[in-house]
């Protein structure tokens, strides 16, 4: 029951959700002693106060705390009311990064691997109703070659563990999303899904609901004004919507779907959600939403903000959407992991298209994958003994992501990887299985894709045929022939594009990354690398090439905003490829994108 709590928490006459966010206790456990010493029963020693949700790293002032790698603990006390004895009781964490064990009153109630999807714990038997309850959470933020994302751990001479990601963003960790105490009826709606068919100006909503216990399902659909549009009965069926309002790109219309579980005429449970009627299709080399071709314009993003790290924050999300709307974007990729669910809710409301990405990043043995990409260096990643475990985790997280996000109209595609080594037979076999699994899981059969770096070249890549549309991350004019050599870079870019063209794949191509590090403080005329003028030029030059190839059907600049990354000689307190600064103010290039994205030739 509620295996992944695919259903976002809601409160109504049958269900209750209570936020447990607030000030918890926190303690590092560098010797990994906590489990053996039963801190979950005895309390966590040397605890300091810690906000939940938060990413601990940027809250501390000592290097060894910010860069901490290893085990750490959270603890809190919560009260469970006793007026809902007939309900099952759950704890739901939006995520715990990267792995967790949750204890309620000293009892292990859940273990979870993967830092970007919900952790749901059934505490019905462990909770004490009408009393205070002790909650303890063991967390570990280490990375290895079978975790998603991938990385390794180096033990420094001092004995301190240093997590070494194989990817280019800071390894923020902890309880970074909200925590809820849920009370759900014993006989409950546990999942639902919808698919759509457009019939002229009308539409069919095909639904399927899953429930526990006896009873039958009643479904009602309400319009924006709250009027009942149509209703139906049975666990699966079809709702005919006359003169349907479609969920359109940047012009969203959301209906409310209400599912009720009825037993002998009595409602036992209810779940409501906001859905949008829209179809997604890849056809004739284009991406079609509701039968209209759409060109993707926007960004690869990160969940990242000063002090907050990767903590979800509604105000940051709101500002991001306002900035994206201001410069005419219609799409973003959740690079490089599934984001907090609230991002998708906002995208549903705003009519944004989302490429939802699983945390399969760093599948190339390199501490600076951005620099290694394109070098031709081969790391035998998919030939390592860690691959079976990695694949198991990958499949599970693809499943959890699709289960969680399948009903969001904003989600138009799932991305199953970012920049793995795609050139070996091992990779081909690995990804064939991952894609096959994903194809079976999505009721809407949305397009599947993955973002490929430069080594995944037309003559070398063994995986591109798995992708319904091809996503390329390319840095011609930055990592490849930057600065005074940019013209040569453009020739190389055009050459690669011609090679793809010759393959006559008849699928859309989307640039999921292209960008140049740019310091908000630097100006120079004429531009040089790292100045705002160079970022403008870089964008304009890249667009000239993209525009020559009609099969290019989208451009997501890297990155929406500057973001924190690991320290290193190629990063100046973070990755500066943002079109906006980290505090969300536009760099010059934002105006280049605005002019382009607002012009009609890309619609």
Residues acting as catalytic residues: 419, 513
The reply to whether 473 sits near ligand BDP by the rule CB under 6 A is yes
Strands 331-333 and 296-300: parallel
Task: Please say which residue, 336 or 408, places its beta carbon nearer to ligand BDP.
Answer: 336
192 to 231: interface string for ligand BDP, x by CB under 6 A: ----------------------------------------
Residue 24 host element (H or E) = strand 22-29
Q: Which residue from 71, 400, 421, 513 is in contact with ligand BDP, where contact means CB under 6 A?
A: 513
Number of residues that bind ligand BDP (CB under 6 A): 14
Select the span of 28-36, 175-183, 194-202, 365-373 touching ligand BDP (CB under 6 A). Answer: 365-373
d(CA 56, CA 65): 8
Q: Which residue of this chain has its Cβ atom nearest to ligand BDP in the complex?
A: 370
Q: How many CB atoms lie within 10 A of CB 45?
A: 12
Task: Please say which residue, 393 or 575, places its beta carbon nearer to ligand BDP.
Answer: 575
The reply to whether 168 sits near ligand BDP by the rule CB under 6 A is yes
Q: How many CB atoms lie within 10 A of CB 37?
A: 13
The reply to whether 390 sits near ligand BDP by the rule CB under 6 A is no
Q: Residue 393: how many CA atoms within 13 Å on its side-chain side? A: 26
d(CA 35, CA 40): 7
Least CB distance to ligand BDP at residue 588 (A):
18
The reply to whether 369 sits near ligand BDP by the rule CB under 6 A is yes
The reply to whether 453 sits near ligand BDP by the rule CB under 6 A is yes
138 to 167: interface string for ligand BDP, x by CB under 6 A: -----------------------------x
The reply to whether 418 sits near ligand BDP by the rule CB under 6 A is yes
d(CA 309, CA 239): 43
End-to-end CA distance of the chain: 44
Task: Please say which residue, 210 or 519, places its beta carbon nearer to ligand BDP.
Answer: 519
Q: 3-state DSSP helix/strand/coil percent for the chain, to nearest 5?
A: 20, 35, 45
The reply to whether 542 sits near ligand BDP by the rule CB under 6 A is no
26 to 55: interface string for ligand BDP, x by CB under 6 A: ------------------------------
Least CB distance to ligand BDP at residue 520 (A):
16
Task: Please say which residue, 27 or 423, places its beta carbon nearer to ligand BDP.
Answer: 423
Task: Please say which residue, 99 or 336, places its beta carbon nearer to ligand BDP.
Answer: 336
Q: Is 89 helix (H, G, I), strand (E, B) or coil?
A: strand
d(CA 598, CA 589): 14
285 to 304: interface string for ligand BDP, x by CB under 6 A: --------------------
d(CA 452, CA 421): 9
Least CB distance to ligand BDP at residue 451 (A):
7
Paired tokens of 304: 């990242």
d(CA 397, CA 2): 16
Name the residue among 125, 261, 240 with its Cα closest to residue 190: 261
317 to 336: interface string for ligand BDP, x by CB under 6 A: -------------------x
Q: Residue 582: how many CA atoms within 13 Å on its side-chain side? A: 20
> What are the residues whose beta carbons fall under 8 Å from the beta carbon of 27, sequence distance 6 or more?
39, 44, 45, 46, 47, 48, 72, 73, 75
Least CB distance to ligand BDP at residue 374 (A):
9
Judge whether 516 and 593 are in contact, CB under 8 Å: no
**Residue ranges with strand state E in 200-241:** 202-211, 216-222, 228-233, 236-241
Paired tokens of 527: 């531009």
Q: Which residue from 577, 582, 587, 596 is in contact with ligand BDP, where contact means CB under 6 A?
A: 577
For residue 320, what are the CA distances in angstroms to 305, 383, 402?
A: 11, 40, 24
Task: Please say which residue, 183 or 575, places its beta carbon nearer to ligand BDP.
Answer: 575
The reply to whether 373 sits near ligand BDP by the rule CB under 6 A is yes
The reply to whether 575 sits near ligand BDP by the rule CB under 6 A is yes
The reply to whether 562 sits near ligand BDP by the rule CB under 6 A is no
Task: Please say which residue, 183 or 564, places its beta carbon nearer to ligand BDP.
Answer: 564
- Residues of the shown chain interacting with ligand BDP in the complex, contacts defined by CB under 6 A: 167-168, 336, 369-370, 373, 418-419, 453, 473, 513, 558, 575, 577
């Amino acid at each position: 029951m509620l295996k992944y709590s695919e259903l976002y928490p809601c409160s109504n006459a049958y269900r209750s959700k209570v936020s447990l966010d607030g000030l918890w206790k926190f303690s590092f456990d560098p010797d990994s002693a906590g489990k053996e010493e039963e801190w979950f029963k005895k309390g966590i020693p040397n605890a300091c106060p810690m906000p939940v949700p938060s990413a601990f790293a940027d809250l501390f002032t000592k290097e060894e705390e910010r860069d901490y790698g290893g085990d750490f603990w959270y603890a809190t006390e919560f009260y469970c009311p006793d007026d809902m004895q007939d309900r099952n009781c759950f704890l739901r964490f939006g995520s715990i990064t990267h792995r967790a064990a949750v204890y309620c009153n000293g009892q292990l109630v859940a273990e979870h691997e993967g830092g970007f999807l919900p952790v749901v714990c059934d505490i019905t038997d462990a909770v004490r109703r009408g009393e205070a309850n002790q909650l303890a959470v063991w967390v570990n933020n280490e990375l290895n070659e079978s975790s998603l994302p991938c990385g390794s751990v180096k033990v420094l001479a001092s004995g301190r563990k240093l997590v070494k990601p194989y990817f280019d963003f800071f390894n923020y960790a902890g309880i970074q999303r909200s925590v809820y105490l849920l009370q759900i009826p014993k006989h409950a709606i546990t999942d639902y899904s919808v698919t759509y068919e457009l019939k002229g100006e009308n539409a069919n909503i095909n639904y399927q609901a899953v429930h526990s216990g006896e009873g039958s399902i009643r479904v009602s659909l309400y319009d924006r004004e709250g009027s009942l549009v149509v209703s139906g009965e049975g666990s699966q069926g079809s709702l005919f919507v006359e003169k349907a309002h479609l969920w359109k790109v940047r012009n969203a219309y959301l209906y409310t779907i209400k599912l009720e579980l009825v037993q002998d005429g009595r409602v036992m449970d209810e779940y409501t959600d906001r859905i949008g009627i829209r179809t997604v299709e890849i056809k004739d080399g284009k991406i079609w939403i509701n039968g209209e071709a759409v060109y993707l314009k926007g960004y690869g993003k990160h969940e990242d903000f000063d002090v907050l790290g990767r903590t979800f924050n509604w105000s940051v999300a709101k500002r991001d959407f306002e900035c994206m709307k201001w410069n005419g974007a219609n799409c973003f990729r959740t690079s490089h992991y599934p984001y907090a669910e609230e991002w998708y809710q906002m995208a549903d409301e705003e009519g944004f298209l989302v490429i939802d990405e699983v945390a399969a990043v760093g599948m190339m043995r390199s501490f600076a994958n951005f620099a290694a990409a394109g070098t031709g260096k081969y790391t035998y990643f998919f030939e390592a003994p860690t691959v079976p475990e990695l694949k198991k985790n990958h499949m599970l997280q693809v499943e959890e992501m699709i289960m969680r996000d399948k009903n969001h109209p904003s989600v138009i595609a799932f991305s199953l990887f970012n920049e793995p080594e795609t050139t070996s037979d091992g990779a081909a076999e690995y990804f064939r299985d991952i894609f096959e699994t994903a194809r079976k899981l999505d009721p809407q059969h949305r397009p599947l894709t993955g973002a490929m770096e430069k080594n995944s070249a037309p003559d070398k890549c063994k995986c591109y045929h798995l992708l319904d549309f091809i996503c390329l991350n390319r840095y011609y004019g930055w990592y490849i022939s930057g600065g005074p050599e940019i013209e040569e870079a453009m020739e190389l870019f055009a050459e690669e594009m011609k090679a793809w063209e010759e393959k006559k794949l008849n699928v859309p191509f989307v640039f999921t990354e292209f960008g140049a590090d740019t310091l908000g403080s630097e100006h120079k005329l004429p531009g040089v690398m790292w100045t705002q003028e160079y970022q403008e030029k870089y964008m304009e030059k890249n667009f000239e090439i993209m525009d020559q190839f009609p099969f290019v059907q989208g451009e997501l600049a890297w990155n929406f905003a500057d973001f924190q990354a690991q320290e290193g000689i190629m990063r100046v307190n973070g990755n500066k490829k943002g079109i906006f600064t980290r505090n969300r103010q536009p760099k010059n290039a934002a105006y280049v994108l605005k002019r382009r994205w607002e012009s009609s030739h890309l619609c």
